[in-house]
Copies of this chain bind each other. A is one copy, B any other.
């Protein structure tokens, strides 16, 4: 998606070989027009898949997932990173390692929010080593629903998570795919 690539090139900050900061337009501060255009693009990519539900994880995937969901006319479910006082009943859970924060957490979705008949699209803002997507995939798998694929805003392809999932036969779409990056040279996209 050209508009997203151009915005990353303009306003993204490569802090290290691994960390791309996009918090002035795609995380923490959201350019809501760009996020909506990105959601519409994801909806377009999956419009033949009869998606019934979108799954994401709090917090930074929610805006993109909601934008795609409103275009597809389906609900969004977001996995929480803790169990709230208002959550009772059977839970689907997955342990996820966060490379960004250097810790692990448990992603939790109440089992009654996903049905066996659902056709699921998983959405997140970033894809690096694929830990979050793998956690969400295992939750979808445990629910018995059909996984139609994954879509992310920005894939750091050089970190291998996306290609590892593709090698398992899972459809993974990225709106902007980064082949390499460095603080000195900036970002190079793969096409």
Contact = CB atoms under 8 A, between A and B. Distances in A.
Interface in A53-82: 58-60, 62-63, 66-67, 69-70, 73-78, 80, 82
Contacts of A24: 113
Q: What's the number of copies of this chain in the assembled complex?
A: 2
A110 interface: yes
Interface residues on A, range: 35 or more
A29 interface: yes
Interface in A4-46: 15, 19, 21, 23-25, 28-33, 35-36
A48 interface: no
A168 interface: no
Interface in A119-149: none
A171 B36 CA distance: 28
A66 B63 contact: yes
A30 B86 contact: no
A62 B15 CA distance: 26
A70 to B, nearest CB: 4
Contacts of A60: 58
Nearest to A71: B32
Given A28-B113, A113-B29, A100 B86 contact: yes
Most buried by B among A73, A85, A101: A85
Contacts of A88: 15
A21 B109 CA distance: 15
25 contacts: A15-B88, A19-B86, A23-B87, A23-B110, A23-B113, A28-B78, A28-B109, A28-B110, A29-B75, A29-B113, A30-B77, A30-B78, A32-B73, A32-B76, A33-B70, A35-B66, A59-B59, A59-B62, A59-B80, A62-B62, A62-B66, A63-B63, A67-B70, A82-B101, A85-B101
